[in-house]
Amino acid sequence: MNLNQITVMVRDVEQSIVFYQKIGLQLIVKSLPKYARFVCADGNTSFSLHQSDQPNGENSAWIYFETSNVDEEINRLINLGVVIDVMPVDQPWLWREARLKDPDNNQIIIYHAGENRLNPPWRIKDSV
């Protein structure tokens, strides 16, 4: 099995399209006012937006986008006017990450984990 797509709920699909294009996603479906879908720049994963009148609460989605250079990507976003909530920092789980929010308060994490994403030193060994 492979993860194909994540869909998040947003109030204004058109406004969110602008945000997600800024952070580097490529728009492939635009079905306003209810839906939009993007493809990630690296790989085949898609990401979509679905219009909802329900506000996102404090338990909104946390969406992770990996890049090879977090600092460079965050500087690019700052230059585009994107507000960064937490600047890049090395985390104890061996990832470098920065945090920001989309227009609907969904948490966006721009990070780099490399080999540690799937194979951290504390990974459970396969039982065979």
Digit-coded pLDDT (tens) for 14-37: 999 999 999 999 999 999 999 999
User: Are 86 and 99 in contact, with CB atoms under 8 Å apart?
Assistant: yes
Dist. CA 82–CA 92, nearest whole Å = 26
pLDDT reading at 97 higher than 60: yes
Q: Side-chain half-sphere of 60: how many Cα atoms within 13 Å?
A: 20
**Residue 96's beta-bridge partner residues?**
90, 112
Homologous superfamily of the 5-115 domain (CATH): 2,3-Dihydroxybiphenyl 1,2-Dioxygenase, domain 1 (3.10.180.10)
Q: Which residue has the higher pLDDT, 6 or 43?
A: 6
Dist. CA 99–CA 84, nearest whole Å = 6
pLDDT reading at 127 higher than 60: no
Helices (H) and strands (E) in the chain, counts: 2, 8
Domain boundaries, the chain: 5-115
Dist. CA 117–CA 128, nearest whole Å = 22
Q: pTM for this structure?
A: 0.88
The predicted structure's pLDDT at residue 60: 78
Dist. CA 32–CA 66, nearest whole Å = 28
The predicted structure's pLDDT at residue 55: 67
The predicted structure's pLDDT at residue 57: 65
